[in-house]
A and B are shown apart, each in its own frame.
Chain A
Amino acid sequence: MKLLTALFAIVVGVGGTVALFYGLNYLVEHTLPQRMRDTARPWVFIGPAILIVGLYLLFPALDTIRRSFMDARSTSFVGSKNYEYLVTDPGTRETIWNNVLWILVVPAVSVAVGLAVAVLADKLRPKWENTAKSLIFLPMAISFVGASTIWGFIYAWRAQGQPQIGILNAIWTQLGNEPVAWLDQQQYNDFLLMVIMIWLQAGFAMVLLSAAIKNVPDDTIEAARIDGATEVQIFWRVVVPQIRSTIVVVGTTILILVLKVFDIVLVMTGGRNGTDVVAHRFITEMINNRQLGRASVLVVFLIVVTIPFMISNIRRFREQESAR
């Protein structure tokens, strides 16, 4: 019975879409004067998509902004109170500071690791290059939650005397130290979480950067060699400038991902011990604390911070396209 419903839904959904476009096209063909047809046709096809994106994306975004000026249950207007909370509450401030740390560390390290692997793999024979690159790329296939679970085992802690199931503590205690509850260490637990994200994203960075490096014309490198550049100088002065736009695109793409990081924190620490980040905090505010206003402010904050990076990314992308 369920299968039938699903089939029915598919047939009606797909058929309806086809019928809609066909019908609209028919209308354009038969009701509009010749001159207007060419102008109208693209709109007929792109219109429904714009409408749906507007309905499901733009409207909620605007509604979130509205709610950010209202109280916990979105019943009365409270002015900028929620925004004041955003900047004054120590917990929220710590959350934002954590996000800043993530932004500073993760994209930079991911790009650096990706670049290093891409360059080194490029010097290997093709067979080994592909093996090495596949291994680095493999984590990309794992979800954030899955990766977090894996790393949860790596960082796992058992009281002294019990067998250590976490690989890090297993090594650490073998070296004669007492087991450490790594994720409770406020000085560096943020960075332990970032490692997971870097592990996941370095492969992505590597794939794009590797392709970019292979696109650098060999003869510019040979010309530099004849101009008297050392291999290190060739890398920094000839190769890196030629792949700069890819580096920026990869960096900003990871940066946008970092701004939205949520799953890793939820699975690993649940935001305890000073590891909370904005995206996780807003879920906590909304679901656990039932503070719709405060949650909305956090979302608005995220959107506002993301926009400039999005714009720069799109602009870069266009530049690259037009340079082709």
Chain B
Amino acid sequence: MGLAHPSGYADREIVVAKIEMDGVWKIFPDGTEAVKDVNLTVEDGEFVILVGPSGCGKSTALRMVAGLEDISRGKLKIGDEVVNDLSPKERDIAMVFQSYALYPHMTVADNMGFALKLAKVDKSEIDKRVKDAADILDLTEYLDRKPKALSGGQRQRVAMGRAIVRSPQAFLMDEPLSNLDAKLRVQMRAEIAGIQDRLGVTTLYVTHDQVEAMTMGDRVAVLKRGQLQQVDKPQVLYDNPDNLFVAGFIGSPAMNIAAAQIERAGDDWTVTLGDSTLRIHPGAIERYPRVRDYDGRRVAVGLRPEHFEQGAELPEGQVMRGHEVALVEMLGAEMLVHFQTNAAPIISEDMREAIDDDEAFAAMERDAKKGGQRFTARFDPGDPPKVGSTIDVGFRTEYLHFFDADNGTALR
């Protein structure tokens, strides 16, 4: 597919290609299965984010697309060609590394032009393309500097420039923002998304940061332990997670997930978490129809922090009463209230992976032994409740999520 290029960059036509992973496996010599049967297609010009906790195989998957790792099983296509046995060079892709991997002995211009030089492109053409890319990235005045003399953000841009200059069939990015400080990361997030949009190059972007996943991509692919969990638009992923792992992993602060009991009372359905019983809104049942099969059974219920309501103005059946405030975080535009419940946490492999922090998971296990866990609610800023005081918290039950407590699948 050929895209006429936006003006201001170059008059070249950019050829982009779709990337297709078809039942791809990575099995290391020691038997570790890093990537298991992944089926993922990145369409022409699409920006797909591959996200997952550390050690989930996302970087390995990307490196297989790049040709830096062999593919143990399955087929990888770029364009319509199977590229399993092609070298990185023959795949015509560009990659941005986490550490930027700039050549320290070359100037910025030489770094960006290296691939073209190797491809024996005319010197004048290289200069032109490097200059164009430098314009896009605001690097013009640094072209003669060595990477050592650049700031982290500038180095990151050079790494981007090196990819752009080649006008490859696809960009591959391996956590390109994780070495930047928080403020710069926000800025570069927008910038990379903007550049990708302008150039329209097929992009596969790996990150462990679910905020990057939510904000940057056209679609997000969630990976856990080498297995693809769900691939969808960010908002769909957020609103309709397929399983407990996706529910717990996507969203910050994370979804509150607890064990609960479903009961039927005439036409009404209720869910009981610890001491509180909530009436399930019919809308929630519509989204999770299999809840009806769980009468009298244990499920995992999910409550997003922003769906709590301060105070008890909501009708009975939508309020959780008498919870002790454990911690209040005032964030200016919002306020996070952590409160103690006696709802049992779900202790499972899904949750461990979703939390992606062994210490936090251990704390949750301790909470489970004590018979309760903390919930986080996001409120508009205002009078903060006192730590140690007891509050009533409302919840808009149309936003409840339900999962099978044992295998973690959504009750859809």
Contact = CB atoms under 8 A, between A and B. Distances in A.
B113 to A, nearest CB: 10
Given A225-B89, A228-B89, A229-B118, A220 B103 contact: yes
Interface in A221-237: 222-230, 233, 237
B103 A228 contact: no
B105 A223 contact: no
Interface string B109-121: 0000011001100
A233 B87 CA distance: 15
B330 interface: no
A257 interface: no
Interface in B103-158: 103-106, 114-115, 118-119, 148
B68 A225 contact: yes
Contacts of A323: 148
Contacts of A238: 103
A224 B115 CA distance: 8
B259 interface: no
B105 A242 contact: yes
Contacts of B162: 223, 227
A272 B114 CA distance: 54
A89 interface: no
B88 interface: yes
A241 B103 CA distance: 9
A226 B114 contact: no
Nearest to B91: A226
A227 B87 CA distance: 11
A8 B166 CA distance: 76
A233 B118 contact: yes
Interface string A238-257: 10011010000000000000
A219 interface: yes
A223 B89 contact: no
Contacts of A228: 88-89, 115, 118-119
Q: Count chain A CB atoms within 10 A of each CB in B95, B98, B103, B115 and give the residue with the most.
A: B103
Nearest to A225: B88
Contacts of B250: none
Contacts of A242: 103-105
B97 A222 contact: yes
B93 interface: yes
B118 A220 contact: no
Contacts of B340: none
A224 B97 contact: no
Contacts of B102: 220, 223
Contact of B97 (A223, A229, A233): A223
Interface of B is mostly: loop
Nearest to A222: B68
A217 interface: yes
A149 to B, nearest CB: 44
Contacts of A233: 118
Contact of B114 (A217, A222, A224, A244): A224
A137 B289 CA distance: 73
Interface string B161-197: 0100010000000000000000000000000000000
Nearest to B104: A242
A217 B101 contact: yes
Nearest to A244: B105
B99 A219 contact: yes
A73 B56 CA distance: 82
Contacts of B114: 224, 227, 229, 237
Nearest to A240: B105
B94 interface: yes
B175 to A, nearest CB: 12
Q: Count chain B CB atoms within 10 A of each CB in A223, A238, A323 and give the residue with the most.
A: A223
B129 to A, nearest CB: 14
Given A219-B99, A220-B101, A226 B119 contact: no
Contact of B68 (A220, A226, A244): A226
B66 interface: yes
Nearest to B88: A226
Contacts of B98: 219
Nearest to A219: B101
Interface in A188-212: none
A200 to B, nearest CB: 31
A223 B118 contact: no
A227 B118 contact: yes
Nearest to A323: B148
Contact of A222 (B101, B148, B166): B101
B237 to A, nearest CB: 30
B254 to A, nearest CB: 32
A223 B88 CA distance: 10
Nearest to B92: A228
B406 to A, nearest CB: 42
Contacts of B89: 225-230
29 contacts: A219-B97, A220-B101, A222-B68, A222-B101, A223-B95, A223-B97, A223-B101, A223-B102, A223-B103, A223-B162, A224-B114, A225-B68, A225-B87, A225-B88, A225-B89, A226-B68, A226-B89, A226-B94, A227-B115, A227-B118, A228-B89, A228-B115, A233-B118, A237-B114, A241-B103, A241-B105, A241-B106, A242-B104, A323-B148
Given A223-B97, A223-B162, A241-B106, 7 more contacts: A226-B89, A226-B93, A226-B95, A227-B162, A228-B119, A233-B118, A238-B103
Sorted from nearest, which 7 A-B pairs have the closest CB atoms? Answer: A219-B101, A227-B115, A241-B105, A223-B101, A228-B89, A226-B88, A228-B118
